[in-house]
Structure 1
């Protein structure tokens, strides 16, 4: 199956030979807001809009020495009830021919999670023994300033797929699809799988982690960690009428930070699993079903997708993000290069 081949290719990015764990689950939309406690801590509003899933302890400031999602959150929008981590990406917008913008909604993954109120599918993959993250661990991947394919290829695990159906797992690309996508656009974000073993963060939020060299972690980052992997389904179907697209036929989508190319694709992660729950799941080599909502991991406590939909946060920044907008939220704070 194309899906299986693609998933095994993703798992192969982690050190080792044989895939040991494929933990896959749905996280419903927690909030869409202009906050970024990792890159812009304490700033309200942050320069651009994000879509966030996970524990409801997400806040404008989340100092890793003081803030532990596992003890401060009261619910999670993810299926494992012990996962209060936060996972977030930028937000996709449609730019109409008349220059106005409309926010694109996320939707549940068509391979088992259609009941989810948007959000994204989260994976934890391993190839052999891995060490789960420590409390306070956080990281980013990608660079919102990238505008060329050469730059984007520095992070080969951040890609787009034009979905002909929910099953589509071919035609990966680094920029936005240039033709209408029948079943929406899937955006994948895969994080590094090697850690320096010391720091739960770094000034750039990336230097403490690295991708492996082949099947081995580099000496500078010797500890194998689970690969965190997001799939986000963006419901671009309402915008498939090309009479609304730019007159020159160019693609009409833009990230919330002003990127019309897609090359600035990036993701943020803050670990928030309770106790040893993630380590247990990795040690148990959990293998979630790929075509249903069955997480298939007896060591974890799970909730239904309808229950994940109940965990939400009110927006802190009160601005119009749902109508037809003359400019992107936070445009005046952004470098629109």
Structure 2
């Protein structure tokens, strides 16, 4: 009786204490917002850099990113001390960072000055500050203060210290998600006018089932290993890394069904924050920079080139480079943010700064609508933006620009809505890779494209679009109508365990799109990059100044079939941050997750989502926690029976 009663008391007390501790941790996470390092983005301000200076400027811009990443790592390591004394960060993190940035900015000014007019005022961009999550996105569309316990793989102390959660300790958090059924329809398309180009051309390039990744960015940081500080999926061109020259891209293999399309299409990988360790877990750009978890292979990727509502389109110049979205939107503000998030069956509702919580039977969708107006002269620009522009609201191009085919990139993932109440322990959180200080915010999503179409195929594309036809190897893979809803027979609250269809990168994806061709020489370890048949594996890939910015082996972090080669640099006026293009969709009108907006009916075939996540405290979980108390209760009851029988016999 004594043993059973003690066991009951101890177990019940321990369970109560555990619940109190979890609640306290959640309250702490709500109070403490996630600190991050905010520095003015130098690259976007440099709108004119002489060709002779571009290589040196690109190197220094990459160094600035490396400095911020290192400062953010210091911030994480010193989170507890800074929480006690916020001013401590000034001397240990911000002052040294400002000094390093000043030196890099000086070298940028020197390089531009040697080739042209020396820019003035660059040193004004040296100082950085600490910002919390409610100050992100330039004060617009910022996430609320963080809430929720850390997901699997992140300690409670890390979450409490930074309020950032996530397997990598730097996000995402519950506030980064929104129930798609509570978002009002907001997608709009310019009306077609007489004289417009109504055709479409689609390319079919697979889903990167062969696992071609690296943390480089040949557009923004050519010649710099780990220039992106996060991993990209690549389809199309199979030789894209930081050291790929134009000639390398032209001679490369392609995953596209039409061999005339050797273009490169890439975007940040999507990961499940499920505690699993990918091959890049201890590599720059991966786990060492907060990009952790299981990489998810897309279920489908569609690449569609569309026309212009008001005019015919002209051919894209070969090797045209376009970046859409802004990888640093969380601290830069949303002016250049351009990725949209939605769910299949709900694509008339688009989110800019939230990941969608999709109902059962619906998949997560990322959509990028690239700039479709070209200045008629340049294939790139110093800030990688000013040579292209978005259409106006009526579909027209700015003065001096001409319409080109618009790339619409749609990526579908079979991932389940995460369980926000328990920080993703039941159903894992998902998020895109990001620069470490960007905290995996969805507003930082972005896409990159380099046109390596054969000239003949590009002419066919333009003729198809201008004549109003539907053409291309991927024409049969287009998404269904936006009004289509998920199968009602599969409708359920999105709180079930993850679907097996959320496949890791190591497994081929079962999609309608053709599988990517096998890599020429695959490598099982990212520390041993694959090389093409004519490339020596020992060729170094150091930065132009002779150092490896990743601090690693000096080899590019490529999993398959990319050939490390050096390339010539790509392309000072300082500009103010650009405003959001007029063609950007207005801020998303959305209701709190789980509540449909007033006057809006619940979409047919789906149950109202009042709780789009799993909740702790169900019967199975309670029984798992309290079984010692049940056993103790049985012992206690047996003791009473034994005592009663003993007394009865003695009487």
TM-score by length of 2: 0.39
Aligned counterparts of 1:315 and 1:264: Cα–Cα separation in 2: 30
**Match status 1:36 vs 2:36:** no
Computed over aligned residues only, the root mean square deviation of the Cα atoms, in angstroms, reads: 4.0
Matches within 5 A, 1:132-143: 132-143=315-326
Aligned counterparts of 1:131 and 1:291: Cα–Cα separation in 2: 21
**Match status 1:108 vs 2:267:** no
Q: Which residue of structure 2 lines up, in the alignment, with residue 327 of structure 1?
A: none
Aligned counterparts of 1:311 and 1:13: Cα–Cα separation in 2: 42
**Match status 1:175 vs 2:362:** no
**Match status 1:268 vs 2:448:** yes
CA separation of 1:215 and 1:291: change in aligned 2, threshold 3 A: closer
What are the Cα deviations for residues 310-337 of structure 1, in whole angstroms up to 9, with x where unaligned? 25464698159xxxxxxxxx9999xxxx
| Residues 14 and 126, structure 1, Cα contact 8 Å, conserved in 2 | no
SS at match of 1:284: helix
Q: Rg larger in 1 or in 2? A: 2
Aligned counterparts of 2:327 and 2:291: Cα–Cα separation in 1: 22
SS at match of 1:139: strand
Aligned counterparts of 1:38 and 1:100: Cα–Cα separation in 2: 21
Aligned counterparts of 1:68 and 1:331: Cα–Cα separation in 2: 23
Matches within 5 A, 1:183-262: 183-213=362-392, 214-220=394-400, 222-237=401-416, 240-241=418-419, 245-246=423-424, 253-258=431-436, 259-262=439-442
SS at match of 2:355: coil
Aligned counterparts of 1:136 and 1:265: Cα–Cα separation in 2: 23
SS at match of 1:36: coil
| Aligned mate of 1:310, from 503, 514, 517 | 517
Matches within 5 A, 1:87-126: 87-96=265-274, 101-109=292-300, 120-126=301-307
| Aligned mate of 2:243, from 50, 56, 61 | 61
**Match status 1:129 vs 2:312:** yes
Instruction: State the 1:69 CA deviation.
Output: 2.8
SS at match of 1:276: helix
Matches within 5 A, 1:280-299: 280-285=460-465, 286-288=469-471, 292-293=476-477
| Residues 298 and 414, structure 2, Cα contact 8 Å, conserved in 1 | yes
Query: Where do 5+ consecutive residues of structure 2 fail to align?
Result: 1-184, 277-289, 479-510, 529-548, 553-651
Instruction: State the 1:158 CA deviation.
Output: 1.9
Instruction: State the 1:227 CA deviation.
Output: 0.4
Aligned counterparts of 2:513 and 2:275: Cα–Cα separation in 1: 37
Aligned counterparts of 1:89 and 1:39: Cα–Cα separation in 2: 13
Instruction: State the 1:281 CA deviation.
Output: 1.8
| Residues 79 and 305, structure 1, Cα contact 8 Å, conserved in 2 | no
Farther off after superposition, 16-25 or 93-102: 93-102
Q: Which residue of structure 1 lines up, in the alignment, with residue 257 of structure 2?
A: 79
Aligned counterparts of 1:48 and 1:88: Cα–Cα separation in 2: 12
CA separation of 1:250 and 1:236: change in aligned 2, threshold 3 A: closer
Q: Which residue of structure 2 lines up, in the alignment, with residue 112 of structure 1?
A: none
Count of aligned pairs between the two proteins: 287
Aligned counterparts of 2:257 and 2:372: Cα–Cα separation in 1: 23
Instruction: State the 1:56 CA deviation.
Output: 1.9
**Which one scores higher on RCO, CA 8 angstroms, separation ≥ 6?**
1
Q: Which residue of structure 1 lines up, in the alignment, with residue 181 of structure 2?
A: none
Higher helix share: 2
Aligned counterparts of 2:222 and 2:524: Cα–Cα separation in 1: 14
Aligned counterparts of 2:442 and 2:398: Cα–Cα separation in 1: 30
What are the Cα deviations for residues 69-120 of structure 1, in whole angstroms up to 9, with x where unaligned? 34x023x2123221000010111223359999313413232xxxxxxxxxx2
What are the Cα deviations for residues 22-76 of structure 1, in whole angstroms up to 9, with x where unaligned? 1223322161222221112122233211001102232332344xx2634x023x2
TM-score by length of 1: 0.71
Q: Which residue of structure 2 lines up, in the alignment, with residue 277 of structure 1?
A: 457
Q: Which residue of structure 1 lines up, in the alignment, with residue 610 of structure 2?
A: none
What are the Cα deviations for residues 185-217 of structure 1, in whole angstroms up to 9, with x where unaligned? 211111111111011110111110011223321
